[in-house]
Amino acid sequence: MTTITIQRVLFNARKELEAISDSAALDVELLLAHCLKKNRTYCHTWPEHELTQSEQRCFEDALKLRKDDYPVAYILGKKSFWTFDVEVTPDVLIPRPETELLVEVALEKIADIKNPKILDLGTGSGVIALALASERPDASIVACDSSKKALEVAQRNAVTLKLDQQIEFIHSDWFENITDKDFDLIVSNPPYIEPNDPHLNQTIRHEPYSALVADDLGMRDIHHIIEYSKMFLKPIGLVILEHGYDQHLRTQSSFTLNDFIEIESKKDLAENIRITLAATH
Ligand SMILES: C[S@@+](CC[C@H](N)C(=O)[O-])C[C@H]1O[C@@H](n2cnc3c(N)ncnc32)[C@H](O)[C@@H]1O
């Protein structure tokens, strides 16, 4: 194996990745820093550093995966969300920055509630529950998922972030195994992509299908959660759901049909309407 410097690797690999990634330069830096076991700044501080054979092999393997559209977060095994990093594996959806909007609104809405009790449906890597727990040490949270493997990842993240005392993880098909019926708040980022969405063959094809796709044009799980939420909320309670950019009207109608009040939708930073919330009487 011939030797190669950081600078040369960054240049060559970026060229190779530009065809498939809009963030080729960043991807390459993250992958290289990962193989060097350093941070990204190191790559720019030491451009003349020559890679060892094992660093080169690690990077070649990572680049090969990335060229097949494999997400950077799965290669690194981690993703930043809110104020922390979480472990991610191909068993969980990679947390998206848009979901931070749901967390922000949830925190605003529970600001005046002492010891809020929260249910996170479809917790995946656990990010929503973890962010809420980290901001509200007085909250108690139940987080469920139908995927046992996803729950294992979420549980590990809770232990790593020392938030495991605040969150109870339950294996459940939505509400099936949820026994408490006195939640102040129910939050969920459920699957909402329709089965024939073309993106499923492209960038998101490596993520778990069951975390992404729902029948009835992507609305099946949203309708289900709205229909059953009331039975699990206190008389005065709130539901906040993330949904696709074109699903807010259908989500609002579903809330109306189920007798919720104060229904409103909110836009994310990209001006897409991505969450809808509603209250009980
Ligand atoms: C879009 S992902 C959201 C993951 C995480 N909350 C987030 O925001 O990154 C949806 C999650 O719902 C879970 N899920 C799908 N069907 C479910 C069901 N019937 N009951 C419980 N969880 C389910 C999936 O396993 C997945 O973890």
Cα of 99 from ligand 1 centre, angstroms: 13
What range defines the domain where residue 34 resides? 6-68
Cα of 192 from ligand 1 centre, angstroms: 10
Residue 73 lies in a domain: no
pLDDT at 201: 80
Mind listing the pLDDT tens digit for each residue in 181-207? Answer: 999 999 999 999 999 998 888 778 999
Q: Is 260 helix (H, G, I), strand (E, B) or coil?
A: coil
Which residues neighbour 258 within 8 Å (Cβ) at sequence distance 6 or greater? 226, 227, 229, 230
Average pLDDT, the chain: 96
Residue 74 lies in a domain: no
Query: If you take atom 19 of ligand 1, which residue's CA is the nearest one?
Result: 173
Mind listing the pLDDT tens digit for each residue in 230-270? Answer: 999 999 999 999 999 999 999 999 999 999 999 999 999 89
Query: If you take atom 2 of ligand 1, which residue's CA is the nearest one?
Result: 211
Pocket of ligand 1 (CB under 6 A): 93, 95, 99, 122-125, 127-128, 144-147, 150, 172-174, 189-191, 210-211
Which residues neighbour 244 within 8 Å (Cβ) at sequence distance 6 or greater? 192, 193, 218, 274
Residue 76 lies in a domain: no
Residues 62, 92, single domain; the answer is no
Domain limit, last residue, from 68, 94, 116: 68
State the closest ligand 1 atom to the C-alpha of 174, by its place in the atom list counted from 1. Answer: 20
Q: Which amino acid does the sequence have at 277?
A: L
State the closest ligand 1 atom to the C-alpha of 188, by its place in the atom list counted from 1. Answer: 6
Q: Is 30 helix (H, G, I), strand (E, B) or coil?
A: helix
Cα of 238 from ligand 1 centre, angstroms: 19
Complete DSSP assignment for 145-202: ES-HHHHHHHHHHHHHTT-TTTEEEEE-STTTT-----EEEEEE----B-TT-GGGGT
| CA 169 to each of CA 83, 157, 212, 232: distance values in angstroms, whole numbers, following the listed order | 21, 12, 21, 16
